[in-house]
Amino acid sequence: MTTTPTIHLNDGNEIPAIGFGTFQIPSDGSTYKAVTEALKDGYRHIDTAVAYFNEAEVGQAVRDSGIPRDQIWITSKLWLQDFGYEPAKTAIDLSLKKLGVDYIDLYLIHQPYGDVPGAWRAMEEAQQAGKLKSIGVSNMTPKIWNSFVPDFTVKPAVNQVEFNPTFQQKPIRQLMAADDVKLEAWAPLGQGNQALLTDPVITKLAAKYGKDAGQVILRFENQLGVIVFPKSVHADRIKSNLDIFDFTLTPAEMTDLIGLDTGKGQHDPDAPGVEKMLAGYDVHAND
């Protein structure tokens, strides 16, 4: 079993550097099975969200694992349907109930639109009450960041954004660095982007180190200080994605990989219509 290193957050907590993502894994037993496999392989960081509709299966897998609760880092996220002070308070308690835990290690503003300040205030209070250990944001661009974060009393511990070698988020990373806010990468492997996975820079390194392209990409991101949580429902892939700590990319190799950045991703939170589209997504239809 692999013991994963941790990354120090600005609130004093230590987050496992690599975790297991559960986005788009169905809540039909598939999430339970995948998380159980991940925990067996050595993952100690599980990322979910109310909008994934699988918090209950994540919580059940954690409880059934037999691993002490304080050894597993659980992240969940507040959907914008619940933004505002009072709705957020209710939603936090509901996530705790669905997960079946007394606290959540990291809780994020999932889509940063609407009454973000009210939601953040509720999250700050929940952190003070011990319901949330760390709090953070996601999908924040420089424009959105500057609209909200300067007015927060508690600065975010992380900003979870799209990140991979071709989209390295340099402008927002510069802003985050001022408050030592760590970047978490969703879609760290480019959501299966074959152009990325077959890039000659990456495949050459994979051959050199006896690794696959995904392992090289995850190691690159880890060496940048980025928190990653690749997702898979395949047991062999779940295991191999964790096996990235037995080699180290050289400074020259890191420079080559940094050179793959295009500054463009698949999701633009600033694009017209994104807020309206996301606001119509009902996460409580089955509650």
Q: Which residues are catalytic?
A: 52
Q: What are phi and psi of 151, to 5 degrees?
A: -95, -5
What are the distances in angstroms from CA 81 to CA 135, 188, 242?
18, 26, 34
User: Whole-angstrom Cα distance, residue 253 to residue 173?
Assistant: 21
CB 124 within 8 A of CB 156: no
User: Whole-angstrom Cα distance, residue 21 to residue 282?
Assistant: 21
Q: 197 CB contacts (<8 Å, ≥6 apart)?
A: 189, 190, 213, 214, 217
CB 183 within 8 A of CB 158: yes
What are the distances in angstroms from CA 118 to CA 107, 168, 260?
15, 30, 39
User: Whole-angstrom Cα distance, residue 15 to residue 35?
Assistant: 18
User: Whole-angstrom Cα distance, residue 241 to residue 5?
Assistant: 14
User: Whole-angstrom Cα distance, residue 235 to residue 37?
Assistant: 7
Beta strands in 50-131 (DSSP E): 73-78, 104-109
User: Whole-angstrom Cα distance, residue 276 to residue 25?
Assistant: 25
